[in-house]
Amino acid sequence: MAAYRSAAGFPRVLHAVKHVCFSKQRCGVIICRYSTVYDPNEKTFDKILIANRGEIACRVIKTCKKMGIKTVAVHSDVDSSAVHVKMADEAVCVGPAPTSKSYLNMDAIMNAIKQTGAQAVHPGYGFLSENKEFAKRLAAEGVSFIGPDTHAIQAMGDKIESKLLAKAAKVNTIPGFDGVVKDAEEAVKIAGEIGYPVMIKASAGGGGKGMRIAWNDEETREGFRFSSQEAASSFGDDRLLIEKFIDNPRHIEIQVLADKHGNALWLNERECSIQRRNQKVVEEAPSTFLDPDTRRAMGEQAVSLAKAVKYSSAGTVEFLVDSKKNFFFLEMNTRLQVEHPITECITGLDLVQQMIRIAKGYKLQHKQSDIPINGWAIESRVYAEDPYKSFGLPSIGRLSQYQEPLDLHNVRVDSGIQEGSDISIYYDPMISKLVTYGKTREEALKIMEEALDNYVIRGVTHNIPLLREIIVHPRFVSGDISTKFLPEVYPDGFKGHMLTAGERRELLATAAALYVAAQLRSQKFLGDLRVSVVPAESRQWELCVELDKGVHMLGVSRSGNNYTVEIDGEKVEVSGEWNLASALLPISINGKHRTIQCLLRTAAGEITLQYLGTSFKLRVLSKLAASLSKHMPEKVPEDTSSILRSPMPGSVVAVSVKPGDNVAEGQEICVIEAMKMQNSMTAAKTAKVKSVHCKAGDTVGEGDLLVELE
């Protein structure tokens, strides 16, 4: 039996929910907030249960409150203090942490619906949002599913059936095999007939899970194995299909909205080409690539498909678009998309409100001619991930400090966490969706750059360094992007921001000024010197600053809050308030505004600064301390060629070796699953296995020893 608690048992912390709309005043004449009128006389539902968690649950609750609808949150036991639980009017625990026992537990959720008397369920995205059995059970109980009917979920949720329907609706489709692939050998045969490269993907999948690209027979066999395992784990359905892989395409999707009366609209496109592991990282609306004719053609085909399956709700038709603007149907997601906020920004529509109205049976309020493209919106997905490992392997931990850049102009943050929240191995590592809006793309990008610099996240590793590098890269700024953007721009993996000579001087000067400001502050208490007999305050310093194994001698002079730093014969002027207790340090460097973050500062002179999005480790010493430090012994780095450590927290799915086995370089040793993505761990050299420190089913942390080689 699910545990039930009323919202009265929770403190009211609506201020902790960092989901805000843009204000009309901030945007001048362009309306970038929701323009929808919430008519109190238009009756929909008295109470809605949100069968989800995190930021999307908070997002749905927000609109429900505007519409005067009471809400019910469901949660696992580890989410009992989550923000979405505190936001909702009522909350019900539906099981332990694993999703299969909580957020995918249909019996527990159905019980929660009965206990609370909810009249409708909004599924958000993921979990049960595209599960036809869940929709059927709701219908049998007379509970409205805020989404399409079971026929549309079945038709579009199955990639094989959806492709056949798309063909019948005269929608452009990708060449491929239209049946279910039985085993790895049949996959190899089909791939050979289609011609490499091919895409192997889960029939019931989405979100990049259960998806692999194969360029030869061996990769097809391996891809079949991993894709079927991920599909079974994520969707409870291991069926796979194979189709031609369109090399170097753009991923552009069309948002559709349809009611139960045969009316359907397309709400323009979203450019989603910046991806890693087939999962989106940065999205924008509109696309720089589409012309009005192509946009209209894609929109009309998307609406044609929606009408063919009698679709009713918000949905998304995804296309691959080649360099000549030929577009091909990829799939239809029968739910609200993660990236829906950027469509809301440029159209002024609240998509959650539209879904609720449609579920109640109302007709669409708008015609196709009413749908505008007002301005430009960009979304960065902020994840608890290490971007230096395969562009983002999951990180876990507690948010020891958390501050969203909501005081900036035209910034929206959709999140479901707050300071003190835990990022665990059980759920998606998304921290938030950071959205910026401008009258032009240039303005939206500039605001995004500033927002990322002002975003404070401590306690977990995050991907802000990667996000910031993407949005300032010349190829992205010019719109020259494809789904291969990341591997093409960073063929050797992401290394962080590469400093120019001028930026290096700025960073060295900032570290030196910060060091001196900290030294001066340590000499004072309540504004006065701690010891009255200390010498008069110095105004000049000679410092040694280490960065990337380089040693730089700096001269620093001070006048009030202004510092002049001489580096290699050049002077750098650094000024600021130097509030060392603040997470953000707004400073001026040679008259140019910068926002930096001091992530670490120790008595040994170690300083870690987040500068231009990337964290840099420096060491600042006085001239005397630097001369003495050379006598200190250095730590010998660990030989990692003979050991295999887990690169991320997760669970061990399989171990392929045992002590005494001989392994070749690149041979699979074990498989780690993190956030439902499986990762093959391989041997760094040819050797004999000395010992194995894990087994299938074990939970491992980042850096845990898995296997030792001789």
With beta carbons less than 8 A apart as the criterion, state whether 613 and 601 touch. Answer: no
Which residue has tokens 């500033």?
450
CB 574, CB 563: distance < 8 Å: yes
8 A C-beta contact, residue 320 and residue 246: yes
For the question of residue 221 being annotated catalytic, the response is no
Among 145, 138, 61, 68, smallest CA distance to 107 is for 138
**Nearest-angstrom CA–CA distance, 641 and 659:** 17
C-alpha closest to that of 185 among 114, 268, 101, 242: 242
Q: Are strands 411-415 and 397-398 parallel, antiparallel or unpaired?
A: unpaired
Q: Give the list of residues 6+ apart from residue 547 with CB closer than 8 angstroms, or none.
A: 504, 507, 508, 511, 616, 617, 618, 619
- Print the SS3 string covering 227-254: HHHHHHHHHCCCCEEEEECCCCCEEEEE
Q: Per DSSP, what are the bridge partners of residue 280? A: 275
Q: Which residues contact 201 (CB under 8 A, 6 or more apart)?
A: 159, 210, 211, 212, 227, 240, 241, 243
- Residue pair 210/201 in contact (Cβ under 8 Å)? The answer is yes
Contacting residues for 253 by C-beta, under 8 A, at least 6 apart: 269, 270, 272, 316, 317, 318, 319, 337
Rounding to the nearest 10 degrees, give the CA dihedral for residues 694, 699, 705, 709: 30
Distances (CA, A) of 237 to 138, 180, 186: 21, 12, 18
Rounded Cα–Cα distance for residues 489 and 480 (Å): 11
DSSP 486: H
Question: Coil, strand or helix: which one is 161?
Answer: helix
Hey, CA dihedral for 245, 246, 248, 250, is it positive or negative? negative
Please tell me whether residue 283 adopts helix, strand or coil conformation: strand
DSSP 370: G
DSSP per-residue string spanning 447-469: HHHHHHHT-EEESS--SHHHHHH
What is the maximum alpha-carbon separation in the chain? Answer: 90
For residue 676, what are the CA distances in angstroms to 112, 397, 621, 652?
26, 18, 46, 12
| Cα–Cα distances in angstroms (integers) from residue 254 to residues 296, 300, 302, 303, 524, in the given order | 10, 10, 7, 9, 60
Is 515 buried (19+), middle (13-18) or exposed (0-12) by CB count in 10 A? buried
Of residues 335, 381, 412, 619, which has the active-site annotation?
335
**What is d(CA 541, CA 530) in angstroms, rounded to the nearest whole number?**
20
Nearest to 336 by CA among 615, 69, 115, 51: 51
> Which H helix or E strand runs over 193?
helix 184-194
Report the Cα 184 to chain-centroid distance in Å. 32
Active centre residues (catalytic): 335
